[in-house]
Structure 1
Amino acid sequence: MILRKNVKIKEINSKTNLKIVHYLCKTGTIIGKKRISSDYSVPIIEFKDYTRIWMLSKELESI
């Protein structure tokens, strides 16, 4: 995971909150990381409207 890297959300898990579906195929920038378990961390993505969400790495595509 590289900070300030541009990414695009390519897929969303079927159990995801419906508010996140709005960001499918949108481009954002990795600004940090979040630890979701003791062994796993995920990137935090910021969009142009300053909204921040975290996604699994397999759901992202590098630009």
Structure 2
Amino acid sequence: MNKKINKIVKITKLTRNKNSKLNNFLYKTGTIIGTKKIKNQNIVFIIELKDYSRIWILKKEITTL
């Protein structure tokens, strides 16, 4: 099991700012519930927020609390 699962994190910046809906997630806290491999073999984190919505985030876009 990955040690980063169930860690509480805060979304600090978004590099994919083309979608205005993503700006609603900025500075919110959530829990890492899993990982995902995207097209160029990068691993991203799946974050679940308090309202049970989920979003995948790059490692450089979050900070651990």
- Same fold, judged at TM 0.5 (above): yes
Distance in structure 2 (CA, Å) of the matches to 1:42 and 1:4: 15
Alignment of 1:39-54 (within 5 A): 39-54=41-56
Q: Which amino acid aligns with 2:38?
A: I
Question: Structure 1 residues 16, 55: closer, same or farther in 2, change over 3 A?
Answer: farther
What is the percentage of aligned positions where both structures have the same residue?
A: 46
Structure 1: runs of 5+ lacking an equivalent: none
RMSD of aligned residue pairs (Cα, Å) = 1.6
TM-score, normalised by the number of residues in structure 1: 0.89
Distance in structure 1 (CA, Å) of the matches to 2:16 and 2:31: 23
Aligned-pair distance for 1:38?
Answer: 5.1
Alignment of 1:18-57 (within 5 A): 18-37=20-39, 39-57=41-59
- Count of equivalent residues: 63
Structure 2: runs of 5+ lacking an equivalent: none
